Every structure is written in C-alpha cells, then in structure tokens.
Chains A and B, each alone.
Chain A
Amino acid sequence: MSSDLALLAGAALLLPLFPFSILAVAVFERIGNGTLRSLLLLVCLLPGAAVLDRAGFIPPDWMLAWAMLTAVFYAWRAVALQDARLWVVFLAVSSGALLWAGAGHDGLLWKALGLGLPLAMMSVLVELIERRFGAAHAGMDLRLATAAPKLSALFVAALLAVIAMPVSPSFFTMLALVVDQSRLSAPTTLAILGCWILWSWSAARLFAGIAVGPRRERTDDIPAGLARIYGAGFVGLGATGIVLGGMLL
C-alpha cells in the first residue's frame, strides 16, 4: 500500500495535476536554455507514464475527474496565452493530465512519447523564433509568414503536430485515449475531446497573432538547408505517428 502511495505521489509529481502543476510551470519558465527545455519536454511525460504503467494503476473516478479538470483548465487557459513558450508548457501540462486517462490501458509509454515528441519539436521552433526576434509572442508585430516564410511554415507544422492533427503521433495518442475511454466513461471522453478542441482554438489564436498580418519585408529567415532538415524531421514525425497508430489502435 505504502509503495503504491509512493508510486502515486511520484506520478502526481511527474504528471502533475493542479495545483502541483503550478510548480512545474514555474520551473519550466525559468529554464533559459532552449535545448534543455526541448529535451525536458520530450522526456518529461515518460517517467510519470512509466510509473503508472509499472504500477498497473487504474485511477479512481475522483482522481480521473481531477486529472481531466486539470487538463481542461490548462487547455482553456492556453486559449488566452500569447507567449508561445508558455503555451507549449501549458499544453505539456494538459497532455500530462490527459495521460491519466490512459492509466490501466496498454501502451501508456507510447502514448506519452506520442504527446511528447511534437511538444519537443514545437519548443525547438519557438527557440528559433526567439533567437531571431527576441520573443515568440503574439503581442509583438512579428508577421512571421512574410518576415520569415520558411520559419513560419515550420512553426505552423509544429503547431499542427502539437494539437494532434493527423498524422502526428499525438493524433493517434488522442484517438487511442478517446477509444479507451469511450467504452468506460462518457464525461472523460468528453473532457478529452474538449481539450482537443481547446488546443486547436488556442493554436489558431497563437498562429494568428504570430504569423498573420500585413506583408512586411523579409528579415532573418532560416537557411534553406536547415529548413529541409526540419522538414525531414516533420516527415519522420509523421512516419512515427503512423507506426504509433498501428501500435496503439
């Protein structure tokens, strides 16, 4: 029992639920190194998922509700965010909370990876924007689509991957979560779908604030070679998604 509790506590810290998530967000905000942040986002969901998976823990209804409320809360808060760096973190917390709905089902680790990979990619792109423009913030007049078209295209691709568009790994993860829960709990299913919609809405707002605007002169775009490498990365991400889909569904 005590080892179960310890595992649970570990999971609660690693897949933090509100209000413990406040600490996680604060820690992430203070990490200045973009590469470190991206790596952490890639792996941050895995330990918690591993713990839950190993424990074979099936969360009780009240805990599931708590997790879903956390997920929806951060998804809803993300709608109003203008800072892309903070947005990624909020979506990471929301994703982590959603993973509780996968506890007790197969492939939880793969689901965590499926959600974490796009977040890491997004963090890398945000870092690139911050290096060139100082911040990736919708409150600035970036107009990325005309200022740096290649970077803008990659940014959009990352956004779509994070909000679980096909064939991103997160799409298959979300689909698997919905399928798992649809047989068990209608409110949880609705919460997962609600998060999905809120992520999309917040992504559209972020995109509109950062990329869209009247034409401006081109500034410091990424070199074509680098753009191709990232493009290949997204193709790889898509392939990973398809493979993951085969495994999860």
Chain B
Amino acid sequence: MKQDLGRQLSIRATAYVAGEAVPFFWPMRTFVKRNPLHGLEHLAFEEALAKGADLFRARTFLSRGQYQAYLAGGKVSAESLEHEIAAAIGEAAGEAKNAATLPGIDLGAWVKSLLTGCIDPLSPAVAAKGPDLHAALHGAEIPAAPASREAVEAELLAAFPDDRPLYEAIDALFGTELGERLDGQVIRACLAFFDEGQSVWSMPDRSKGFFTAWRNVAPSGARRVLAEVEAGAPAGTAPGPERVIDHVLSAIGVPSEARPTYLTREMMRLQGWSGFIRWRAQAKRYYWSQEHPGDLVDLLAVRCTLGMALMQGLEGCPVTVPALRDLCAQRPFEMALRRDYHERRVPAPMIRDVQTAVERGKASRLDKVASRYLAERHRAAHRRLAGELQRLGRKTGQLDALMSLGPEDLAALVDLLSRIERREGMIWLRASEATALDTLMGGLTLTPPPPRDKRPFVQAAFCIDVRSERIRRHLEGVGDYQTFGIAGFFGVPASLLELGKGSEKHLCPVLLTPRNLVLEMSAADWSDEAAVTLLDKVMHELKETVISPFVTVEAIGLLFGLDMIGKTLAPQTYHRLRERLDAKKPRTHLILDKLSREQADSIVRAVQRAVIIEAAEHELGLPTEDINDAIVRELREYALKNAEPSPDLAARLKTDEPGLAGFVEQLREVYRINRGVADMQMEHLGRVGFGLEEQVMFVQQALSSIGLSENFSRFVLLVGHGSTSENNAYESSLDCGACGGNDGLSSARILANMANKHTVRRRLAEKGIEIPDDTWFLPAMHNTTTDEIALHDLELLPATHLVYLDRLRVGLASASRLCAQERLPALGFRSDHGCDPRAALRGTQRNAVDWSQVRPEWGLSGNAYFVIGRRDLTRGTSMDGRAFLHSYDYRLDPKRRLLENILTGPLVVGQWINLEHYFSTVDNDRLGAGSKVYQNVTGQFGVMTGNLSDLRTGLPSQTVLNRGQPYHQPLRLTTLIEAPFDHAMRAINGVASVKRLVLNGWIRMVILDPVTGQAHVFDESKWITRPSQIDQTEDLVTR
C-alpha cells in the first residue's frame, strides 16, 4: 500500500516536473500574452531556443530569406552583420578540432556570401567526407563506399531517443499516422470535458474529475488497456491516473530517467490544451476548475491509455522501446530508408523505386534499395555541396583558392561553415538588435528642456503600451500637453464587480492577485432591457439548441439577412443605428471606500430583504403590496434562526404552518438566506474598497513612479486604453495587458476618484506631494483602434473647469486625427484616406465596426523597446509606435523602490508581450495561432483551427504577418534605464527574476547614465560601454 502510494506520488511529481516547460494558456476572454518558452527561462536564451525548437517542433528564427529582406530594407545594417559574423567565426574556430588557417580563404567573406547571397543552407544532410568532397569538386567519380552500418544505426538511435514518444518513431518508420489519430481522440475528450457552456451536450460525471469521467465513456480499445491496469490493481479499486501512466510507460519500456522528457513531449504535442489544463489546475478560484476538476496527470493518463490502445492494434511494428532499438540494430538500412521515405526526404530520382520497395515490404528488396539509396544520397549530398562551394567561391572571388584545397582542408572548411550556419539565427538576430539599438540611441536626447514659466495646460498619464507613444507625441505637438507613461492599471491592483455582472474581473497583471474589490453601482433603474437587446439575447440562445436553428432560418432568416447586409455594406451607418436601439449603460459610481461593519451589515440586510420579497412573490404568489417591512423582517429573522415566527405569520402570508415551514426552508436552501451565506457575504463585503492609507499609498506611488510630484496642471488625465472590434475572438488581446486583458478605463476611474478626495490630498501634502485645489484628475479612455480619447466622469468635474473643456476636447480630437493619419497607411488603406486626418479618423472608425475586418489594428506589433526614464529623453523623436515608455525620474527614487517595482511588474509584462510577438512571428503555425479565417471558438475559452485541432496559442497571423511576410520584426526587448549606472545596477540585482532574464539574455539591457552621458550595454555576460551617440549639449542639471 505504502509502496503503491509512493509510486503514485512519484508519477505525480514526474508529471509536475514534466509540465514545467508547458506554458500556461489563459482563457481568451481575458487574453494574456506570455512567453511560450517561459518554462525555459532558467536557460540561456540561445540554449532555450534550441530546446524549444525541439520540444515545440518549431522554428525559433526567421528564415534566411526573410533576414536577407531585412538587410536589403535597412533593418539590419551591413556593419552589424559583419561584426556578428566575425564573432561567430572566432567562436566556431575555437570549437573546431581542425582550426588551422585555410590558405587563400577569407572566411568572413565566405560566411557573408553564404548568409546574404544564398537561400538554401549549405550544411549537408550527411557528414561531409573530405576525399569524396574533393572528388566531387574536381568532377571525379565519388567512390561507391558502402554506408557504415554502425553509422546508420547511430543516426537512427539519435533520431529516435528513448524519451521520444514511441508512436512518433512508428509513424516516422511505417507511415502509420498514430500521432495524429491520438491527438484527435485526446482533443475530442478535452472538448467534451472542459467545455464551459458552449455545448448543449457535455460529458457526464464531470464533477468526478477528467480521468474518471472520461474512463466511463472511453472507447473499446482504451477499455482493454484499462482492464489490464485494473487487473494489476488492488481488488475493489479502480485504477487512478497515476497507476495507468505507470503501467503504460512500463509496458512500453520507457526507462525511468527518460520519463520526464517523454511526458513533456507527450504534453507538447497539444501544448495549447496542456497549457490550458495546467493553468486551470492551479487557478483555485476559477469556477470551472472547481466544478469540473482536471489536471495534467489526468491528461497524461488519457493520452497514455489511448496511445497504447492504438499501438496494440498494430502488426509488424515495434510496440516497445527495446523492440524499436533492436529493429534499428538489426535492420538499420531498411529503417533509414523507411524513415527518409515517410519523412519525405527521398529525392526525386529514387522516389518511385523507394516507394515500391517500402510498399511491398520485402526485406531483401528493401535492403538492396536501401544500400543503393544511401550510397546515392551520399553522392548527391557531396555533389550538391561541391556545387554550392563552387558558387560561393565564385561570389567571393576565391574559387582558385577553393579548388587548391586538399581533402582535409575542404572538410575543415565545411565543418566551420556548418558550425556557423547552426548559429545563423543568433547572428542575424544580434545584428538586427544592434541596428535597432543604434536607431534608438540615435534618437535620444539628454539635453534638458528649457525651464517652464507656467504649468502645462494638461498633464496626461498614459499606459506604457507601445500604441500610446504615437498619441502622446501628437498630443504634445498640438498644444501645451505634458505626458507620462505608467502601467495601465495605474499601480492599483483591484477586482471590479461591474454593474449587472455576476463575476469579478481582475484589473491588474496576471502576476498579481488583487485583494480589494470595487463595486460599480448606478442610481438609474436598469431593470428594463431595450427590446432590441433582449431580441439579440433570444436569438443567441436559439442558436444554441439543436433543432431550433432549422426552424428559425425559415421563420426569421430574413431578419438575419438584413443584419448581415447592413453590417457588411455599410458597417458604420448600421452600427450607429444599432447603437440607438440598444440599451445604453447608465452613469455609474464606484464604491471605493472601505465599508464599516454597520454599512456591510446594512447592505446584506438590504439584499436579503429584496430576495425575500422576490421569493414571496414567486413562491407564494403574493403581490408586493401584501409584503410589508414587518413581514420581511420576521421572515428574515426566522430564516437566519434568530427568532421563532409569530403565530399569525402564516396567516398573513396566506398559507398554513407547513407551507410557512416549507417556504422558509426554501429561503434557506434555494434563496440562500442563512447564517453561513450571510457570514460569507460579510466577508466578501470586507474586501470592498480601500482604506484611506491604502488610497494615499497608491496615489503617492503612482505619482512618484512617473516623476510627477509638483507643478500639477489644472487637468491631470488618467488615460486607460481599450479597443473596439467586431467578430474578433482576439478582442481582449488588443486591450490592456496590465489590466488583465480588460480595458483600462475602470483603473483610471479608480485612481482618479482616489486622487480627487480631499482626505487623500491632505495626507499626501503631509508626505510632500502638494496637489493644488484646482487640479482635477479626470479619467479618460484611449480607443487604440480609432485613437479617439473619451473623457469620463464629467458629471463630477468642478464647474470652474467646464470653461476649459472645449479646449481640451479640441486638442484631444486633433491628436486623434493626426494619430489615425499616421497609422492608417500601415493597415493597407488607400493613400487618400491617409492624407487627410479627418478621413483617416473615419477610416479607423469604420475599421472598428467592420465585422469582416481581420485586422482592426496592428496592436502591439512592432514592439522593440522598453524605455524607463523621463519623457524628455524620447520627446524629440518618433519611435514609430515601437516603444513601451515608462516615466521615471531616478532623483525621486533614492532607494530604488520605484524602479524595482517597474522592473518587477511592467517590464516583465513587456517582456512577455515582446516574446509572444517574437515566437508568433517566427513560426506562426506552431507557436502562433495561424489564420483567423479558419478559427472556431471552442468551449468559450479558446479557438481551434478548423473543427479539431490543438488550442491555438499565441497571436494570429493577421496580427504579426502581412501577406505572409513578417510585419512585426522579431527582436528581444531592448530595455533602456535612464539612471546612474550604479543606481540601475543595484535595482536590477535587487529583482531576482529580472536579473535572471538579463543574465540569460532574454532581455537586452542598456543603462544610460544621465550624469556621465554614457550608455552601458549588457552583452555576453559583461557590461560594454558604447561610444556616445546621444545628443547632450550640457550635463543634466539637478532641479
């Protein structure tokens, strides 16, 4: 028993460790951009990419052709490329066994020619042999040496290690497609179990857990496997998922040391589903996880069972790891031939012969064809290599030198070139980043601005989102506006219970868990829904049943037709019309202050009263006028078991004693008027609001972090951002990542409310931040799809400020139009829209309401930089919407706490966003989400491509690619901190997670010392001082 428990725990621990490499996948309702290789961040960047490429079976760099296009387009400078090539040659020569100088060969020129002038890689598919290459180069016949049995066997064992799923080896050798079939079965099981209300029919017994529920509906092959496991289990117990995994892995013969990687690879085949299940298992408060629990161990048990069932149905194939090894040892040539055939690597001249041999399956014929094939493969590879070398020789003008090399030198040359080619991705990436850094540094200025004679008209704090850079620049250009950058949640982690909603949403980065709850309430009576909104809901519900769509089409299909025509042919006009008909959300207030115990108790009582009245109406059929306060009070006390009912209560309720008892029982059980729930409600209400000191702390932190502690304007805008789009499953990805994938308006309102309170300002003044009485914090919302900025909570604005509103609105509108004009051409709109700002704005507005638009905006594509410093540093330059700009003044942060907060939160979120874009660009099919056109919403939490696929993670192609080519330039995030070197270094060292990211090369870190004017770049594990490129006419003057 103990041994059994020990084994189960061991399996569970192994699965847990194996799952570390699987990135989380959050439900798409609040899209979270994350680094898909987050589980590998403990490794150096280059190493992690190599491992990630293996685990995800994905590319981690762009193709050579795409980098060549960057070189031609100036995104990679020739100098930086040459510099990286020289460094790579030095490293490769140091690693190579035979690193002797090759006479007459300028390796730098060769590598540059290879990378910039050739499309296909040079590295041969087989190990190059000097004498054979020499013969091919000189046109001589390559000797027909038989392939080495040991070499072929070693090649096979390297291709099929013990930690690779066995069915993948079987598929590669026998073309069986087991992997695809297994994935399909597992996906169906996941769809049935994890559905969150999209399906009308779901898997039964889901409350018992994934594996248990699936076991009851498992197909017959899987049931046989489960019966085998059960036979070995203690009597009377159904085998748990751990036992199933252990049984299958033991039966297949996977060695213990290979199991963690084996299980990782299993999960990585469906990394979307695995990531979702992994996230779900640790999200303890997630409703669906509580109702229908399931974790990675369950998933692996289902996978292992189905996999074994599929393999058991095979004939003539090895079904254990030792059997596979034996097969490769006994028949290596045949297996090599089969592998090349099924992996579609057989060249054209031999394809028909190989196909016939493989399909007929006669061992003697296979061996004969295999020997011929391997020899021909060897010869073809050397001929091709010789041809490529000659071509390179001609390009570099060193053909004669090449032809005069002996066999050993030729082998050394190919070895060096192959080593460099293996590092090609990093060469191009580093060259791209160096060019991008030059661009950044060339646009910065340390020259302080002229001193102000008066305060700015408006100060506006925007989210650090890259899309804010453009609007900030234009706003500063149209008037006396001073802008700042701050994380979109304004440093206030809160949960919001919106008006009319039943669940909270977290308005903070997913790394944080908010402790405080804010309630949104309205004075308006919002109980009557507009007819159109109601009709909309009914239509949607009708579509979810099985039979009604057939009838509905006949009956009211025309209505849908009108809708379709309207929003297709005239989306803007139709949208305006629908807006008039739909119910408008009333003006709301936010409850921000902590409730006293009496207030909370009063709220609970009020809710209970309302519920009791509804219950009496519904259950007893009593009209409201018959239910007075006294009756309600008495019923409440009775339900809470605080008092016994009066003798005439039943009569007053027009029922008898049993009826009264039954009704009160209903109140307790169904309507939850009971002590337990009341206590829970009190506890929840205890979360509502922020205490005074908390509010003071948040306001102080927000203002200090952006360097705004004096000289406040009349208006201080807090501008959250969100997006607008139609028919877009990725709508949330365009909203604010710092607000957990929601828009930032509520966060702006929360901080504005706090900062406008006299009590808060009084306390702030004691701490040295004096906000004038005429300063008003105004929340606003930047719509990143249309670039419009809408002001909110204007009813709270003091009357004295109303006269300035018009000027403010005009400025904001001008900035919006200019920003739209700048952005629109990149969205492929006609140039006449792009010339006229008003027309451009109309274009973006149409974009936002067009349901056929797969790209309402480019979002955060193009992000490359994260600048932490004063706005004056970047003010003079256009950063083309590519920079996260976080305001920071080191002089207000002597203890570096603010900088550490920025590094811990916003920078890490920025890094996730950057790497999500990176990997979605380099391999959109494996690491991105593919095209939106083929996607279907799944379970209400994700999308699949087609009707059955892995959950699509990452970003869709329309977000990062343009006509199949990268729009987003995949670069690591270049982070620049404007602070004295020592100050910034200590802050980085003080945040362990960021320090690791920097040391491992996940972030490119630059420290710009405003005192010395020098820039220090962290590269290859050391700090390098760059020659100054920065405009600095005088040293920074202290205030």
Contacts and interface: CB of A to CB of B under 8 A. Distances in A.
- Best-buried of A83, A139, A141 by chain B (most CB within 10 Å): A139
A131 B352 CA distance: 16
A139 B356 CA distance: 11
Contacts of B351: 83, 134-135, 137, 139-140
A223 interface: no
Contacts of A137: 348, 351-352, 355
B348 A217 contact: no
Contact of A217 (B63, B346, B352, B354): B63
A133 B351 CA distance: 12
Q: How large is the interface on A (under 10, 10 to 19, 20 to 34, 35 or more residues)?
A: 10 to 19
B454 interface: no
B344 interface: yes
B662 interface: no
Interface in B339-360: 341, 344-349, 351-352, 354-355
Interface in B692-712: none
Contact of A215 (B119, B345, B347, B964): B964
A38 interface: no
A214 interface: yes
B634 to A, nearest CB: 72
B925 A140 contact: no
A82 interface: yes
Contacts of B345: 141
Contact of A140 (B65, B119, B348): B348
A217 B65 contact: yes
B165 to A, nearest CB: 21
Nearest to B924: A215
Given A83-B352, A215-B964, A139 B344 contact: yes
Given A140-B344, A141-B345, A135 B352 contact: yes
Nearest to A137: B351
A139 B346 contact: yes
A87 to B, nearest CB: 13
A139 B351 CA distance: 7
A140 B345 CA distance: 6
Interface in A98-142: 130, 133-135, 137, 139-141
Interface string B454-496: 0000000000000000000000000000000000000000000
A217 to B, nearest CB: 5
Given A215-B925, A215-B964, A217-B65, A82 B346 contact: no
Interface string B43-74: 00000000000000000000101000000000
Nearest to A146: B964
Interface in A203-231: 214-215, 217
A185 to B, nearest CB: 36
B118 to A, nearest CB: 11
A134 B349 contact: yes
A135 B344 CA distance: 13
Contacts of B354: 139
Interface string A133-166: 1110101110000000000000000000000000
Nearest to A81: B355
Interface string B925-936: 100000000000
Contacts of A140: 344, 346-348, 351
Contacts of B347: 134, 140
Interface in B119-170: 119
Interface string A163-197: 00000000000000000000000000000000000
Interface string A45-83: 000000000000000000000000000000000000011
A147 to B, nearest CB: 12
B372 to A, nearest CB: 17
Interface in B1006-1024: none
A188 to B, nearest CB: 32
Contacts of B349: 134-135
Nearest to A216: B63
Nearest to B359: A80
A214 B925 contact: yes
A135 B348 contact: yes
Contacts of A135: 348-349, 351-352
B355 A82 contact: yes
A129 to B, nearest CB: 10
Nearest to A209: B344
A214 B928 CA distance: 13
B964 A141 contact: no
A83 B350 CA distance: 12
B961 to A, nearest CB: 10
Contacts of B119: 217
Contacts of B348: 130, 133-135, 137, 140
B766 to A, nearest CB: 63
A133 B349 CA distance: 10
Nearest to A135: B348
Contacts of B65: 217
Contacts of A133: 348
Contacts of A139: 341, 344, 346, 351, 354-355
A143 B355 CA distance: 19
Contacts of A134: 347-349, 351
B956 to A, nearest CB: 15
A134 B345 CA distance: 13
A217 B354 CA distance: 26
A226 B344 CA distance: 29
Nearest to B957: A215
A133 B347 CA distance: 9
B692 to A, nearest CB: 59
A174 B686 CA distance: 78
Interface string A9-41: 000000000000000000000000000000000
Contacts of A214: 925
A133 B344 CA distance: 13
- Best-buried of B63, B346, B348, B349 by chain A (most CB within 10 Å): B348
A82 B341 CA distance: 12
A131 B21 CA distance: 45
Contacts of A82: 355
Nearest to A80: B359
Interface string B290-330: 00000000000000000000000000000000000000000
A132 to B, nearest CB: 10
A35 to B, nearest CB: 19
Nearest to A83: B352
A165 B803 CA distance: 71
A83 B353 CA distance: 11
A85 B119 CA distance: 30
Contacts of B355: 82-83, 137, 139
B641 to A, nearest CB: 67
B991 to A, nearest CB: 39
A83 B349 CA distance: 12
A214 B57 CA distance: 13
Nearest to A134: B348
B121 to A, nearest CB: 11
A14 B60 CA distance: 57
A214 B964 CA distance: 12
A56 to B, nearest CB: 42
A141 B355 CA distance: 14
Nearest to A214: B925
- Best-buried of B119, B351, B964 by chain A (most CB within 10 Å): B351
A217 B349 CA distance: 22
A125 to B, nearest CB: 16
Interface string B105-129: 0000000000000010000000000
A141 B352 contact: no
Given A83-B352, A137-B352, 4 more contacts: A137-B351, A137-B355, A141-B345, A217-B65
What 4 A-B pairs are tightest by C-beta distance, nearest first? A134-B348, A135-B348, A141-B344, A137-B351
Interface of B: 63, 65, 119, 341, 344-349, 351-352, 354-355, 925, 964
9 contacts: A83-B351, A83-B355, A130-B348, A137-B348, A139-B351, A140-B346, A140-B347, A215-B964, A217-B119
